[in-house]
Structure 1
Amino acid sequence: MSWIFDNAEKLGGLATMLTACIAIFALFFAHKQIQEARNSQREATAKEIYGDYLKLAFENPNFANPKIYVGTANKGWKHEGDWIQDERYRWFVAFMLNSYDEICSISRKDETWRKVILMDLRCHREYLKSRHFIEDECGWDLFSPELKEIADEL
Structure 2
Amino acid sequence: MALTDSDYTTISSISAAIGTLLTGIGLVYAVLQIRWNKQASREAEALQAYRDYLERCVQYPELSSWDMFKKHASNGVKGRVYDAWTLDSERYLWFVSILITTCDEILMNVSDAEQWRHTLETQLEYHKELLIETPELNGESYHDATRKLIEKFVPRPKNEKAT
TM-score normalised over the length of structure 2: 0.69
Q: How many residues align?
A: 142
Q: 1:120 is matched by which residue type in structure 2?
A: Q
- Structure 2 residue 35 is matched with structure 1 residue 35: yes
Indicate whether 1:61 and 2:61 are aligned: yes
Q: After superposition, what is the alpha-carbon deviation per residue over 1:30-56, rounded to whole angstroms, capped at 9, x for unaligned?
A: 122111111111012112222221111
- Taking only the aligned residue pairs, the percentage that are identical comes to 23
The 10-residue stretch of structure 1 (4-13 or 109-118) with the greater mean CA deviation from structure 2:
109-118
**Residues in 1 aligned to 2:24 and 2:53: alpha-carbon distance in whole angstroms:** 44
Aligned residues: CA RMSD: 3.2
- TM-fit CA distance, 1:16: 1.1
Q: Is the 8 A contact 2:46 2:105 kept in 1?
A: yes
1:3-152 to 2 correspondences below 5 Å: 3=3, 5-67=5-67, 69=68, 76=71, 82=77, 85=81, 87=89, 88-107=91-110, 110-130=113-133, 133-134=134-135, 138-141=136-139, 143-144=141-142, 145-152=144-151
TM-score by length of 1: 0.72
- Helix, strand or coil at the partner of 1:2: coil
Q: SS of the counterpart of 2:95?
A: helix
Letter in 2 for 1:140: N
Give the structure with the higher percent helix.
1
Gaps of 5+ in 2: 82-87, 154-163
The 1-side partners of 2:65 and 2:102 are apart by 17
Amino acid at match of 1:41: S
Instruction: Write out per-residue CA displacement over residues 18-73 of structure 1, whole angstroms, 9 at most, x where no aligned residue.
Output: 11111121112112211111111101211222222111111122321344x59xxx
Shift of 1:96: 1.9
Supply the distance in 1 between the matched residues of 2:145 and 2:117 (Cα, whole angstroms): 9
